[in-house]
Structure 1
Amino acid sequence: MRLLPANFLQLRRSSNWLCLLALLWVLPLQAADYQSHQLTDDGLVIQTTDGQLLLRFHQPAVVEAFYQTEGVKQLPSFTLPTQQELVSAGLEVQSDVLRYGTEALTVLIDKASLQLSYERHGKVFLAEEQGLFQHDTLRGFRFQLQPDEKLMGAGQRVLGMDRRGHRLPLYNKADYGYTTESEQMYFSLPAVLSSNNYMLLFDNSASGFIDLGKTEADVLQFEAVAGRTGYIVAAGESYQHTLQQYLQASGMPPMPPRWALGNYASRFGYRTEQEARDTVQRFIEQGFPLDAIVLDLYWFGPDIQGHMGNLAWDKDAFPNPEQMITDFRELGVKTILITEPFMLTSSNRWQEAVEEQVLALNLAGKPKTFDFYFGNTGLIDVFKPEAAEWFWQIYHGLMQQGVAGWWGDLGEPEVHPHDTIHQLPDGTATADEIHNAYGHEWAKMVFERHVRDYPTLRPFIMMRSGAPGSQRYGMIPWTGDVDRSWGGLEPQVELALQMSLFGFGYIHSDLGGFAGGEQFDAEMYTRWMQYGVFQPVYRPHAQEHIAPEPVFHDGTTQRITRDFIQLRYRMLPYNYTLAYQHSTLGLPLMRPLFYLEPDNTAFIDERNSYLWGDAFLVAPVTEPGVTEWTVNAPAGIWFDFFDGSRYKGGQSLTVPVTLETIPVLVKAGAFVPMVASMQTTDHYSSKQLELHYWHDASVGQSQGEMYEDDGVSRTSLQDGAFELLQFHASNQQDQQLNLTLTRQGDYSGMPAARHLMLVVHQAPAHWQQVQVDGRTLEVQAESVAKGGEGAWRNRDGAIVVQLNWQQDTQLTLN
């Protein structure tokens, strides 16, 4: 352990303190001395002259280091669940070193320096430099960096994928109307993922900085004004395994309701019940699928300012909200309401909030009030159990009216004075101590009480800010108030990938952009909506002076966006399977290219091309007027999803595009299950199932899967109430293709049989027969009767096989 010299604050306040900071570390530092160690049920406890160091494994490849210096205030961990079973680890005691670890990961503790290093398969991949440092108003850690190491992480930033060389604030803060560069945004993460395949997370909720080799090129420094002096290291066998191990320790993201993957009507905002009803009807009349409508702040007040905190229907504008919600629900449209944690002194609930003592306090112990854009306000203290329960009862009452989902806005919190005092269950904390955990605690409040009071239903919780660990509360974050421009569209893949790498797989953008815009840019809007099909949540949202909903735009824009939204619905079996993989394996829905080629460090810098699941390679068009677009393709064979063109990967590809298409390539050997489009996911059924397979002679073996359950039950995975369809292909140098289709599991409402249409794309011309469980079908020139069994070639040359699928099935094409 290390202590900073007492003159640190004077240096920090000087105009060139960043330069002086680099010199600070050459000054003498007081070191703690090793005294003893003890292996306990809670991990390895090392006693020092300053306090104790606790090391414990939460997974075989995830270890926590928690320094507890005597007299230094600590806060709870937000990254790790309170109750968690630990993994046992072995201890080897040597004269100068303690080796504590599992087969996957070992911590080396140098007794003389008390510095820690981390070893995987006999090789050190991470080491503390000075390790812990502490001062009255500053604490943190320093780690060594390798010369060629690249660092991703630190949350929402627009900087490029490799963030090394930056010094970044750790303070969740709104960045209204951002475009192609931003160092501080809504959702910071005190965490990095290294190109050396380890994840380092600082378990600290306080305001601070993370210096990724900016001040000193070979040092990663985390610093905070207060908070928990602990960190977590995860280091698996691959990038995917590292994330999986971390999420198994921090908490897997739960399955969302299936309707969350559908289309939303959303704007800032619907001012009246009639406007909301008319908008929903317009979607239906114009043939646009729709699953949800999002009501912004006008549901509780007639204008923007003065009403926040009412959290009750404005009956002048919404005279019959319960009937409206019921009518929407009968159409398959779920109602989502915005809520904020601010309680204006002008709101109808202000006095109640004061009397119930649910507000954060000032230094005199009175409700803290301050001015911000929406008015003079207090802040609900979600850290205080009694306040959280009071806040939840408002949600509970609205859910009794039929509200299906929640949108938590401004939860950084957007304004959070430093002298605000919060009441935790075991003490108090200032705003600066727990600022970055406010959104996290808010999501926890909603999630845990939702589970308590509605145990069978999956929560829908969309929030703008959080912290490591928020994913276990089902948080669906978005990228904030992005500018409505090409510059706003450009960084959206980078933002999504960076957050996905730390378990926030449902990160998404306001499709079409949110802020500003003088007039409607049809091309930009169309490109954003096309990209949205291949991002986790499909939610156009914007300021109302330009309609964000496609139903209000010209015929060409409507036609193209309708086709893409219908494609989104056709892909529901595939997309829902990605949600299942995210909840069980930790796999992001949007995946970086280096997941396929981990040794290709150039792919770490790739910020436009990405993988949508394991089948698709997508590259959004982010410039106007283009007729071709560059796609950086991993090795292998790829096919254009729209026209079937064949590409050889391992290089940059130039893909032609029109206004009707963006580059979407499918990996050779991929399986993609699909269904017909529908008006709402309430009508979803896989009884009529399409299974698409992209054949190529270069692929010898491949496999895919499809997950299904009832789409709403919260405990489907735990209860085993689901079906898993698995597909396997074996290709014998184009002589024949063997396909195995299997079914496992059961759930209420599961189809006993499916009418399956198998489409084998790129099937060789000499294939003329299909054997189905020993029965021979001749490949015809045209389709057979609907509902029958048969095989034919379609106009694109693909072989289509139609059959009734009830049990495990073997097919051979030759």
Structure 2
Amino acid sequence: MIRYKLWVWVLCLVFPTWVWAENETRTCTSFTQQGRQVTFHLADSAALQLQLCSSSVVKIWFSPDGQLQRRNASFAVINEELEEVGTIHVDEQAACYEIFTPKLRIRVNKSPMSLQIFDKYQKLLFSDYADKGHVSEGTKKVEYKVLRRDEHFFGLGEKAGKMDRRGESYKMWNSDKPCYSVVEDPLYKSIPFFMSNYRYGIFLDNTYKTEFKFGTESRDYYSFEAPNGEMVYYFIFGKDYKEIISQYVGLTGKPIMPPKWALGFAQCRGLLTSEKLSREIAEGYRKRGIPCDIIYQDIGWTEYLQDFEWRKGNYENPKKMLSDLKEMGFKVVVSQDPVIAQANKKQWEEADRLGYFVKDHTNGKSYDMPWPWGGNCGVVDFTLPAVADWWGTYQQKPIDDGISGFWTDMGEPAWSNEEQTERLVMKHHLGMHDEIHNVYGLTWDKVVKEQFEKRNPDRRVFQMTRAAYAGLQRYTFGWTGDSGNGDDVLQGWGQLANQIPVMLSAGLGLIPFSSCDITGYCGDIEDYPAMAELYTRWIQFGAFNPLSRIHHEGDNPVEPWLFGPEAEKNAKAAIELKYRLLPYIYTYAREAYDTGLPIMRPLFLEYPMDMETFSTDAQFLFGRELLVAPVVKKGARTKNVYLPEGTWIDYNNKQTVYTGEQWTTVDAPLSSVPMFVKQGSIIPTMPVMNYIHEKPVYPLTFEIFPAQEGAQAAFTLYEDEGENLGYQRHEFVKTPIICSTLANGYELTVFAREGKGYTVPGPRNLLFRIYSAKAPKEVTVKGKKIKKTKPERLEENLENDTETVAWSWDKEAGICSVRIPDKGVDEQLMITFK
């Protein structure tokens, strides 16, 4: 017996996770019930509470002491009653308790106590591992779950490395990681939500430095743990990833929509902090006809952090500058930091006197925070309610001057990474820093957004943030921070490649509107011709970021025309492509608001049963219809691409066709990004402009890639005012379009506009380009033949002549084009083959 105890003691020293043995076998002895909640009581005074948020979402709370009390309400979850669940019945059996819903069978085994969740067909979805499902040691709590041999995991928000998380471990601790590596963890944001291919998701609602280990300790289990706080998590079942995400949206809230102009291109650099430089960049874009909507001002736009006053000497007349740039079609976005510099004596003393700074727990004074810019600072305590109006008054000053938005930078807060344990003495109004750290940026972004909307009624906020927690989608958009190779900017190809899975994972974490720093941010650019190829490939990838911002550190200029004529031409082409696709992008922006689904999508989101898509980290879907495969290797002029089921058409030439469910190598010249459209798709486009809605009225072109005979291609165009909050009041219009492929031609139906509260701003034309291998004989509109004209004549005066009805056939390109005025009513077109 002595030898056995000694052997167990040795094993516990060697394998610390075996502390579960000291908890002895937990036995469930009884349960109590109140409304949606069923609490199971254990012999050791612990408790396991299950709350049915819906028939497929279960809140799970394990409490070692049985108290079931939270210090702070959830920062992320805003709704736990997703649907009516009726009367909950607990079926007690000799060995277990069971709860049935229309979608789930939930079992709590009595001894040893363990939790298992099955679908309604009795397939096991989720299970505690053996008798160590719920383990506690002091304040630390660990959940161990069964790991299947074929189980894969996706999510956790903005994380580096491969999208499939199996075999890796991750921490949640918002960290300032300049020039981060392609596998570095943790990064700037903490979103403890992941999904399994076993059709469930887990959201761990704990703000401490939680950790996820997806099979790194055993091939039989995975785990998630918290060093402190409550072990509260949500089990979310869905038939696929989309359904899981939609229920996560139900828990944590819908993403806000950006202003339409925010979906254009933006220009920035680290020292873009002057009126003179801003005007020069604006002139450079307009002179060359390269579309651009936004010019950013980085941290040095103010003399002091964070007084929101224009820096004297850098800006002669900021109001006039903003007015002049507005006339040119530019919006200006300025940075915020969440601190007050001690050198900013007046504001610092004001905040200190009012008690608006985070305190030093050791002395009760305002915490003295070293800061990367502007010297030591006080950290503003955004968890204190009184701070909101105070901050809102300050941030309104540049808004009144004419700026259009903010980017909230360094909200981790900066210089408080894992190794800086001295920061843990910070005390916020709502708790010590180890609890508040990961939500600090979230509380700041909440104040920025709510104060903006309070003082600027019915106007969409633009706020792009670096550090955040789950639920950020209610307040802000995101960017992926300081990527790139700081040692040698020309060796940043790996960082470029890594941004694809980083952004795709961000989208799965409910950051549908995000950007990377196009060019990578890090590294001095000393040889612009040598950088031209990498720059071009960054731009081509960045064109498919929902928010596209060119940005680099210091005084490294990164405007397209600096990298040589070829790079400028190729960059311009990529930027123009994004502007053409704006009607398509904006329609998916609305879908993101409605459903939480990102615009940039991993292939498995649309093809969940195709396991080959689990490892397609170098490509993505852009909406449902387009597949994009950016080139991310130096010198590469081909790209190995996986095309899922269906038939795919090369979007760059419209005539090359590929069969799906296989890998293929395609040409990838420096002038374009490999891009494919699925057969049976309709893609709405618009004319390229210097900036979004430079012309408020413009023709819409619908590229139609007909389905197979007997099938349909469909798209529903979404339109609204673009800058107000009408989208939340259902003030918009939608235009459904269906193209049916018949044995003898195509039937194209344009349905009457649906909706209210928004009116298309003027008469316009609709142009349909149908890519067809067969030549049409005639085209009718509402049964009447329309005239045929030459392709080059069809689009003449397309912006002004809204009376002409005609069609053309381009035999060489295989395009049948039809032009009709948009009257907002039902239209039926028949294209009949010869």
Q: State whether TM-score is above 0.5.
A: yes
Shift of residue 214, structure 1, vs aligned partner:
0.7
Q: Which amino acid aligns with 2:24?
A: L
The 5-angstrom pairing of residues 486-635 of structure 1 reads 486-517=493-524, 518-520=526-528, 521-635=531-645
- Matched residue, 2:773: 764
Deviations 1:88-128 (A, max 9, x none): 25423222344445423443333444432222223220122
Give 1:179-328 correspondences, 5 Å limit: 179-301=181-303, 307-328=304-325
Name the SS of the counterpart of 1:385 in structure 2.
Answer: coil
Q: Does 1:691 align with 2:702?
A: yes
Is 1:736 matched up with 2:741?
no
Compute the displacement of 1:246 (Å): 1.2
1:773 equivalent in alignment to 2:786? no
In the TM superposition, what whole-angstrom CA distance separates every residue of 1:320-351 from its partner, at most 9, and x where no partner exists? 22222222223221111111112232234221
How far apart are residue 420 of structure 1 and its match? 3.3
Distance 2:307 2:14 in 1: 49
Say if 1:519 and 1:546, in contact at 8 Å, map to a contact too.
no
Structure-1 residue corresponding to 2:678: 667
2:60 touches 2:232 (CA, 8 Å); kept in 1? yes
Task: Assess if the C-alpha contact under 8 Å between 2:336 and 2:406 holds in 1.
Answer: yes
| 1:382 aligned residue | 382
CA contact (8 A) 1:92 1:98 kept: no
1:74 equivalent to 2:79? Answer: no
Measure how far apart 1:722 and its partner are.
0.3
Partner of residue 662 from structure 2, selected from 651, 662, 682? 651
For residues 699 and 184 of structure 1, the distance between their equivalents in structure 2, rounded to whole angstroms, comes to 51
Query: How far does the alpha carbon of each residue in 1:409-429 deviate from its partner, in whole angstroms, 9 at most, with x for none?
Result: 1111222344334444xxx42
For structure 2, the 5+ residue unaligned runs are 1-8, 417-421
User: Which secondary structure state, in structure 1, belongs to the residue aligned with residue 514 of structure 2?
Assistant: coil
- Match for 1:800: what amino acid? S
2:690 to 672, 679, 687: 679
Counterpart for residue 809 of structure 1: 827
Aligned counterpart, 2:716: 705
Name the structure 1 match of 2:6.
Answer: none
TM-score of the superposed pair, with normalisation by structure 2: 0.90
SS in 1 for 2:89: strand
Alpha-carbon offset, residue 137 of structure 1: 3.4
Q: Aligned pair count?
A: 789
Residue 722 in structure 1 maps to residue 729 in structure 2: no
- For residues 231-277 of structure 1, give each alpha carbon's deviation from its aligned partner in whole angstroms, at most 9, with x where no partner exists: 01112121111111211221110111101101112111213211112
Report the alpha carbon displacement of residue 703 of structure 1 after superposing the two structures with TM: 1.3
Say whether residues 1:792 and 2:811 are aligned partners: no
Q: Which residue of 2 aligns with 1:333?
A: 330
Distance 1:414-1:779 versus aligned 2 partners, 3 A rule: same
- CA–CA separation in structure 2 for the residues paired with 1:134 and 1:271: 51
8 Å CA contact retained: 1:256, 1:460: yes
Code of the residue aligned with 1:796 in structure 2: it is A
Secondary structure of 2:494's counterpart equals: helix
SS of 1:44's equivalent?
strand
Q: Is the 8 A contact 2:787 2:805 kept in 1?
A: no
Q: Secondary structure at the match of 1:540?
A: strand
Q: Over residues 450-500 of structure 1, what are the superposed CA-to-partner deviations in whole Å (9 max), with x where a residue is unaligned?
A: 233323011111001111111122333334343342121111110111111
| Amino acid in structure 2 at the alignment position of 1:442 | W
Quick one: distance in 2 between partners of 1:671 and 1:526?
28
The 2-side partners of 1:281 and 1:167 are apart by: 48
Deviation at 1:160, TM superposition (A): 1.1
- Secondary structure of 1:370's aligned partner: coil
> Which residue does 1:5 correspond to in 2?
none
| Separation in structure 2 between the aligned mates of residue 713 and residue 232 of structure 1, nearest angstrom | 34
CA contact (8 A) 1:156 1:499 kept: yes
Measure, in 2, the Cα distance between the counterparts of 1:453 and 1:395: 10
Give, in whole Å, the separation in 2 of the partners of 1:678 and 1:101.
Answer: 57
Q: Could you report, residue by residue, the CA deviation over 1:652-678 in whole angstroms, capped at 9, with x for unpaired residues?
A: 121112111110111111111111111
- What percentage of aligned pairs have identical amino acids? 26
Task: Please give the TM-score of this superposition, normalised by the length of structure 1.
Answer: 0.92
1:38-97, Cα deviation, whole Å (9 max, x unpaired): 132x53344556365443344443222234545676332122016866542542322234
Instruction: Measure, in 1, the Cα distance between the counterparts of 2:483 and 2:308.
Output: 22
Structure-2 residue corresponding to 1:358: 356
C-alpha distance in 1 between matches for 2:734 and 2:29: 53
Q: Secondary structure at the match of 2:818?
A: strand
- Do structure 1's residue 63 and structure 2's residue 58 form an aligned pair? yes
Instruction: Give the drift of 1:359.
Output: 0.7
Moved more, 66-75 or 446-455: 66-75
Cα distance in 2 between the residues matched to 1:35 and 1:500: 42
Q: 546-555 or 255-264, which moves further after superposition?
A: 546-555
What corresponds to 1:8 in structure 2? none
Question: What secondary structure is seen at the aligned counterpart in 1 of 2:780?
Answer: strand
Q: CA deviation at 1:752?
A: 5.9
* Superposition pairs of residues 25-36 of structure 1, within 5 angstroms: 25-29=20-24, 31=26, 33-36=28-31
Task: Give the C-alpha shift of residue 169 in structure 1.
Answer: 2.1
Structure 1 gaps, min length 5: 1-10, 302-306
Identify the range of structure 1 (118-127 vs 458-467) with the bigger mean alpha-carbon deviation: 118-127
Say which SS state the counterpart of residue 333 (structure 2) adopts.
strand
For 2:265 and 2:172, the matched residues in 1 are separated by 33
Q: Distance in 2 between matches of 1:545 and 1:17?
A: 55
Q: Quick check: 1:90–1:102 contact (8 Å CA) kept in 2?
A: no
Note closer, same or farther for the CA distance 1:420–1:455 as it changes in structure 2 (3 Å cut): farther
Matched residue type, 1:370: M
Partners of 2:113 and 2:24 lie apart in 1 by 13
1:304 corresponds to: none
Query: 1:56–1:86: 8 Å Cα contact kept in structure 2?
Result: no
| 432-441 or 541-550: bigger deviation | 541-550
The 5-angstrom pairing of residues 93-108 of structure 1 reads 93-96=90-93, 97-100=96-99, 102-108=101-107
Match of residue 403 from structure 2: 403
Quick one: structure 1 residues 330 and 108, their matched pair in 2 at CA, closer, same or farther if it must change by over 3 Å? farther
Distance 1:62 1:206, change over 3 A: same
Judge conservation of contact 2:308–2:398 (CA < 8 Å) in 1: no
2:136 is aligned to 134
Partner Cα distance (1:608, 1:601) in 2: 15
Choose the corresponding residue for 2:425, options 407, 420, 423: 420
Offset at residue 152 of structure 1 (A): 1.6
**How far does the alpha carbon of each residue in 1:743-763 deviate from its partner, in whole angstroms, 9 at most, with x for none?**
2113344246431111001x1
CA root-mean-square deviation: 2.4
SS in 2 for 1:559: helix
For the residues of structure 2 that align with 1:498 and 1:19, how far apart are their CA atoms?
A: 35
